[in-house]
Amino acid sequence: MAAKTSQEYGRVYISASFNNTLVTVTNESGETIAWGSSGASGFKGTRKSTPFAATTAVETVIKRAKEKMGLKEVEVYIKGPGSGRDSALRAIRSQGIKISMIADTTPSPHNGPRPKKKRRV
């Protein structure tokens, strides 16, 4: 087992879909420190998509990252249209971690798929 090292800076990736909220904490080089989801936090079905489930998931992941690596400051990358976006940010701040940057990496189509063929009457 590797020795316990101190990494005060990290990145938090939040993927908030309509059905679930995934959270991954990495160090600066991109190696995963801790991860979790609202499903892994014990929520099932439609309760997984609630802001409370996202808050719970973020809190458990951040606690794990703090005790494992001594996390103090993070950059946050949010992706997706889900309801857990804002509550996830509040949960990070409530854990006493400084947020240095917030970036929205939600993909948006430039032109979208090909349209349906024109209707002939």
Domains of the chain with CATH codes: 12-104 (3.30.420.80)
Judged by phi (left if over 0) then psi (alpha if -120 to 50, else beta), residue 119 lies in: beta
Sign (positive or negative) of CA dihedral 97, 63, 55, 8: positive
Q: Above 60 in pLDDT, residue 15?
A: yes
How does pLDDT run across 42-95, given as a tens digit for each residue?
A: 999 999 889 999 999 999 999 999 888 888 899 999 999 988 889 999 999 999
Global model pTM greater than 0.75: yes
